[in-house]
Amino acid sequence: MAARVNAGAVSMKKDFDDEKPTAVVDESVQGTLEHPAVNEKKLLRRIDLHIVTWLSVLYALSLLDRTNIGSAKVAGMQTDLELTGNRYSVVSLLIFPTYILLEVPSNMFIRRVSVKKYTAFLILCWGTTAMCSGFVNNWRQLIAVRVLLGAFEGAFQPTCSYIISSWYKRYETHQRIAIWYMSGAFLNGFQGILSYALSLMEGVGGLRGWRWIFIVPGFITAAMAVPIYFFISEFPERAKWLAPHELRQIQERLHADRGEVEEKMDMHRLRAALADWKCWALAFLLFWSTAGSYSLSFFLPSILKGFGFSTALSQILVTPPMILSVFCSLATALWADHVHLRSPFILGHMLLVIIGIVLIGWAQNLGPRLVGVFLMTIGNNCTIPSVIAFLVNNLPSSSKRQIALPLQGGFAGVGGIAGALIFRTQDAPKYLFGLYMSIGFACCCILMISSLVAYFHRENLKADRGEKFLEGIEGFRYTL
């Protein structure tokens, strides 16, 4: 019996060898094996400086440009642009169709062009478009601007997580993704204070205060195109700041971690990625959490105003829970990378979301309702980096990640549409319909992550018994 199992394993290994991703190592670094190894911690710090720092700044600005519409609404935009009925919800959600449509094509395109030039172009375009939001005269013009903003930002965001996954090992990614994503939450935490300060520019240049909420951040974003062009890094094989032996070390550590370094996208790999149900399931998982996260960004000032706070205080009170969620996310990301787990943290975060929503909607006193705001904010913001890392860890093929990450971003955009629709103006000030839907989204996330983990655990056991090679890579195991 043991002989038959061993023979079967050998046969399976031969079959899977044909499907193994091929490590592509730059020819210019051949022959450098005898070069002294670079200190890995120092090398990682340099990568962090060139990659994570700049991507974090850009994501923070993109999230600010996308979500400051909530502060502009309570600062007078709703009246000036006649955003009555469901018009505000429509304006909020129409950023997402173009955002969704351009994510996959953009991620397929990024490997073929210069990261510097492409990113700088997108930043200049979306910053200029964000500024234009401050000059619209009616809600129809605002819709047109939001559609354009979605196109430029949708082309940018999935490249961030893909670039990070191209530089780091599997259990180094969660903390980097958390830093990248939570930089947006950090700046978004001060968005209320910043927006309130900008709204005090009422009458400056003959413009209403809410217009400056769009104009100033948009100008800062557009100006960032210059340093980004000069300082952001290309992919490892094209990074000029790396010495040949450093590139070799990076490629070898990635190959040892997940059995590949780079795969060039072609039609065969595109079809393989689209045919893999795991790409779709891992991508769709983000829908459930972003539906709550985006609704939080768009409507939290309105929810706080419904608690009885003034317009100014409702904007300022957005900051404390956002800032606390940054530190919670970084702490859980470090812990998750250390223990090589993702799902327990995602489940815990979703439970926080449910408890927080219950307190917001049904607690009788102000104190518990504010605690609910903190719990919901922390749970939502901590979940998203964990879900992205869960996908990155369980798709070792770079070509599959190149497709699955923008698919994930696309489903996140659909979640944004749902989030914009469930908190309806007619449900103010309690927004109970939106709270019920948010609880449902959190429960669906719990069910889906539990199902995926059960499947991955079963497959890992089969690999442990020598029955198969997971993802065609000997020694690979799914992250639970």
- For residue 429, cis peptide bond before it (omega within 30 degrees of 0): yes
State pLDDT tens for residues 50-102: 999 999 998 888 888 887 888 888 888 988 998 887 888 788 878 888 888 88
Evaluate whether 184 touches 432 at the Cβ level (below 8 Å): no
Of 382 and 421, the one with more pLDDT:
382
Answer yes or no: is pLDDT of 36 > 70.
no
Answer yes or no: is pLDDT of 214 > 90.
yes
Average pLDDT over all residues of the chain: 84
Nearest to 88 by CA among 102, 70, 104: 70
251 exposure class (CB count in 10 Å sphere: 0-12, 13-18, 19+):
buried
Answer yes or no: is pLDDT of 400 > 80.
yes
Answer yes or no: is pLDDT of 439 > 50.
yes
State pLDDT tens for residues 454-470: 999 999 999 999 999 99
Evaluate whether 170 touches 317 at the Cβ level (below 8 Å): no
CB atoms within 10 A of CB 195: 30
Measured distance CA(58)–CA(65) in Å, rounded: 11
Q: Report percent pLDDT > 70 for the chain.
A: 90
Global pTM reads 0.81
pLDDT (mean) for 287-311 = 78
Q: Alpha helix locations (H) across 340-397?
A: 343-362, 366-394
Per-residue model confidence (pLDDT) at position 332: 94
What type of residue sits at position 90? V
Per-residue model confidence (pLDDT) at position 19: 43
Evaluate whether 174 touches 161 at the Cβ level (below 8 Å): no
- Give Cα separations from 455 to 2, 451, 452, 462 (angstroms): 26, 6, 5, 11
Sorted by sequence, the CB contacts under 8 Å of residue 456 that are 6+ apart come out as 394, 478, 479, 480
Domain 40-232+277-465 CATH assignment equals 1.10.760.10 = no
